[in-house]
Structure 1
């Protein structure tokens, strides 16, 4: 990427502000109080999982917890509870790792679409008509029961927002206290020179909206129901 007339532009801005052009980087201050990092820092992993579970149930999420080897059985139960047949999910290496690829390929009563970059926007149409969207959580925020998804060409944003219902598979190793830790993770990846996804989704339970009279409506902007499956590895 080539930047044209940068110096001329910045010099013009400085002149308009009536001050010399600043060329040194702004120094980050050392804050005396840092609640964003201090809050919940003493919580154990199990306490964070308990916080996540309580908050998820508060916002209308069905929460299940299982071991890795039992995930397929629990996922099958969750799908059956929603009465879903058309499934859309990401092309994710974890599908193999967690035994889901075999399940998706062998279940006769399900129509499973794995996100396929080669068909472009057709994926979105399929997601729109799907009964259930299924994704893994990359980082899970205990404080707000929020699932974080790093979207890419194999994991479209539509998977989690267009189907009628949504199931998030949450490895308990992804659970962190709050948004602070998610932001820190992203910043570290940038500092290490990694390519960051163009879209990062933060999903907190089923779709909820309320008008000026505070009448709650579910499903206006996304899935009507949501299930979180916590997986102990």
Structure 2
């Protein structure tokens, strides 16, 4: 049998569907229609400026540094963060948004690595030693201070997980109220037949744990410091 091949999948899934009520592609699960949806009323009526304020206040609660700038000031803001975090090496994704805002040239002049899907092992090895990982946030949840990354082959999840520090570039337009809106947007992508990343990361500040005697320790199993840069004009 070839390595990685799948056998008897259809009969296996058909058996599961039968056991849980005869669900099939021809008879999909019907989404319930709730008479009350309080989750959609949170931060109702807030505009983007108000959501930025909510995000900034939440960043204080999740031990995350908050910055706000314009496209022209983005490189200087990143330089300031790197100095604050005593950092020199950077890993970032093969993402056209970096060149669109003029960051590619700036980052290439640093000790940097652009994620290379053809050399994943080399990219992961660099990420393990990198001072900072930088990505764009695809969606940003104001209520919880969460950035959403639609990771795919040009943006390995190691970029945000392995370096000592993590920086998220947050387009102001990407900020939504809460998880409710994020899941709605992902559902819409699926309904429209759009390709969705197989790995979606929800990152809320630096890594932390309170497992030991309920004492919060930041930077346990991932980035020690996290910074969000809200960019007004992207």
What TM-score results when the alignment is normalised by the length of structure 1? Answer: 0.89
Which residue of the partner structure matches residue 91 of structure 1?
94
The structure with more radius of gyration: 1
The 3-state SS of whatever aligns with 1:101 is: helix
Measured on the aligned residues, the alpha-carbon RMSD in Å equals 2.1
Q: Deviations over 1:139-191 (max 9, x none)?
A: 00000000100101110101011111111110100000001111111111111
Whether 2:30 is the aligned partner of 1:5: answer no
Cα distance between partner residues in 2 of 1:196 and 1:164 = 28
Shift of residue 46, structure 1, vs aligned partner? 1.0
Cα distance between partner residues in 2 of 1:141 and 1:79 = 25
- CA 217–102 in structure 1, closer or farther in 2 if over 3 Å, else same: same
Cα distance between partner residues in 1 of 2:126 and 2:16 = 47
Shift of residue 8, structure 1, vs aligned partner? 6.7
Q: Deviations over 1:77-106 (max 9, x none)?
A: 11111111111111111001111011112x
Whether 2:214 is the aligned partner of 1:214: answer yes
- CA 29–74 in structure 1, closer or farther in 2 if over 3 Å, else same: same
Greater than 2 Å deviation, 4+ residue runs:
1-14, 21-30
Q: Which structure 2 residues correspond to residues 70-149 of structure 1 after superposition, within 5 A? A: 70-105=73-108, 107=109, 110-149=110-149
Shift of residue 118, structure 1, vs aligned partner? 1.0
What TM-score results when the alignment is normalised by the length of structure 2? Answer: 0.89
Which residue of the partner structure matches residue 68 of structure 1?
71
Which residue of the partner structure matches residue 151 of structure 1?
151
- CA 63–29 in structure 1, closer or farther in 2 if over 3 Å, else same: same
- CA 216–93 in structure 1, closer or farther in 2 if over 3 Å, else same: same
Which residue of the partner structure matches residue 45 of structure 2?
42
Cα distance between partner residues in 2 of 1:161 and 1:7 = 34
Which residue of the partner structure matches residue 200 of structure 2?
200
Point out where structure 1 has 5 or more consecutive residues left out of the alignment.
none
